[in-house]
Amino acid sequence: MPTLPSSLSPSDPARSPLRASESFLHRRALWGSFAGGCLLIAAASSVFVTLGIVYVLVTESMGFFAQVSLLDFLTDTQWTPVFENAHFGVMTLVSATVTVAGIALAVSIPAGLALAIYLSEYARREVRETVKPCLELLEGVPTVVYGYFTLLFFTPLLQTFIPGLEGFNMLGPGMVMGIMILPYTASVSEDAMRAVPAGLREAGYALGYSRFRVAMRVVVPAAFSGITAAFILGMSRAVGETMVVAIAAGQNPNFSFNPTEGAATITAYIVQMAMGDLPHDSIAYQSVFAAGIVLFVITLTFNLIGFFLRRRFKEVY
């Protein structure tokens, strides 16, 4: 503590400005560490959410795996949890989940790539600034609204072209979902493309490349890991999407990869079971969490791959 010149130090020590500021500093330090502690707790809360999810999924499905062998769970092709003779072949639900997500990607990859190339290499800055908010609006539509639209507008529309299409099917929800995740896949891949240094593009132009060649031979290869990340993260979204499939793909477990048939995905099954009032200790209740674990593991795998791919393209430049 620096000492004040004697001429400045007041005679009454109790009223010293130095004393006052000391207590002020003390209080301030206390507040500071209190605030820091609160902020740390807030940051740690996100870790507790993850721990909570893992804890719930594991503990609630332990009873399930005590009664159903893992082998049956992964190889059986029937899923009939509330029947007298119950079967728990989760592949029944996985087949529908994969089919719908596959259709969504089949729509989203070419469309998203074309859109991202257009926005990053062709569109003028003002166009890009106008288009991106519009795309965000597409992302802001509640998924239950997309479900209504798919069931009552899009599927009847598809039925006029495809006569054998069932009222509940995997094709319609898959296609709508493909456009639903388009803003996400397009904007993440566009970010990756724009992170490619201008020097690489200029080198391409100096060789006499057209914009198209620069895009396909320089930008896309350079941004490849980021673009892959975009579609892996998009896939993860399609796998976890709930309301569109719960409304428009049907709730009948059906081991099938045929897009014209209806089939319950993992998420649709969880919704269906949650609507009925299941007793807490029944195997049907526990099967919801077992299905949840499969969903969690699939999406976690995609998310981690996507995370590290994205991080890589950020580090390269």
Partner 1 sequence: MVKADVSQVSLPDLAGIVDANRRTDLVMAGIGISVLLIAMSLLAAVVIDLIVGGWPRLINPDFYLNFPSRHPLQAGIVSAWVGTILVMLVTAGIAIPLGVGAGVYLEEYAARNWITDFIEINVSNLAGVPSIIYGLLALGLFIHGFGLGETILTAGLVLALLILPVIIVSTREAIRGIPLDLREAAYGLGADKWQTVRLYVLPAARSGILTGTIVGLARAIGEAAPVITIGALTFIAFLPPSPLQASPPFINFEWLESPFTIMPIQMFNWVSRPQAEFHINAAAAGVILMVMTLAMNGVAIWLRYHLRRQVR
Contact yes or no for 189/227 (Cβ under 8 A): yes
Show contacts with partner 1 in window 157-176 (CB under 8 A). 176
**Segment lying near partner 1 (by CB under 8 A), choices 65-73, 74-82, 194-202, 272-280:** 272-280
Does residue 204 bind partner 1 (CB under 8 A)? no
- Interface residue with partner 1, options 172, 240, 253, 259 (CB under 8 A): 240
Least distance (Å) from partner 1 to the CB of residue 224?
19
Give the Cα-Cα-Cα angle 9, 15, 17 (nearest 5 degrees).
60
Does residue 57 bind partner 1 (CB under 8 A)? yes
Q: In the complex with partner 1, which residue's Cβ is closer, 24 or 75?
A: 24
- Interface residue with partner 1, options 158, 195, 271, 284 (CB under 8 A): 271
How many whole angstroms separate alpha carbon 88 and alpha carbon 98?
A: 18
Scanning the chain, the segments in alpha helix (DSSP H) are 17-67, 70-75, 91-117, 125-140, 143-149, 155-161, 171-180, 182-194, 198-206, 211-213, 220-222, 224-240, 243-248, 266-275, 283-316
Q: In the complex with partner 1, which residue's Cβ is closer, 86 or 123?
A: 123
Does residue 207 bind partner 1 (CB under 8 A)? no
- Interface residue with partner 1, options 73, 88, 289, 313 (CB under 8 A): 289
Does residue 52 bind partner 1 (CB under 8 A)? yes
DSSP 154: I
For 41-83, the DSSP string reads HHHHHHHHHHHHHHHHHHHHHHHHHHHS-HHHHHH---B-TTS
- Interface residue with partner 1, options 66, 274, 314, 317 (CB under 8 A): 274
How many whole angstroms separate alpha carbon 300 and alpha carbon 295?
A: 8
How many whole angstroms separate alpha carbon 260 and alpha carbon 104?
A: 14
Show contacts with partner 1 in window 209-228 (CB under 8 A). 210-213, 215
**Segment lying near partner 1 (by CB under 8 A), choices 7-15, 69-77, 79-87, 230-238:** 230-238
Does residue 264 bind partner 1 (CB under 8 A)? no
Does residue 135 bind partner 1 (CB under 8 A)? yes
Q: In the complex with partner 1, which residue's Cβ is closer, 83 or 205?
A: 205
How many whole angstroms separate alpha carbon 43 and alpha carbon 35?
A: 12
Q: In the complex with partner 1, which residue's Cβ is closer, 47 or 206?
A: 47
Does residue 205 bind partner 1 (CB under 8 A)? no
- Interface residue with partner 1, options 62, 82, 162, 304 (CB under 8 A): 304
Least distance (Å) from partner 1 to the CB of residue 85?
26
Rg (CA), the chain: 28
Residue type (1 letter), 190: E
How many whole angstroms separate alpha carbon 166 and alpha carbon 263?
A: 11
Show contacts with partner 1 in window 67-126 (CB under 8 A). 111, 114-115, 117-119, 122-123
* Total site size for partner 1, rule CB under 8 A: 91
**Six token digits for residue 180:** 């639903």
**Segment lying near partner 1 (by CB under 8 A), choices 4-12, 80-88, 141-149, 256-264:** 141-149
Least distance (Å) from partner 1 to the CB of residue 25?
9
In Å, what is the CA distance from 193 to each residue of 63, 74, 140, 213, 311?
48, 40, 24, 14, 14
How many whole angstroms separate alpha carbon 157 and alpha carbon 77?
A: 32
**Segment lying near partner 1 (by CB under 8 A), choices 87-95, 98-106, 139-147, 256-264:** 139-147
Does residue 300 bind partner 1 (CB under 8 A)? yes
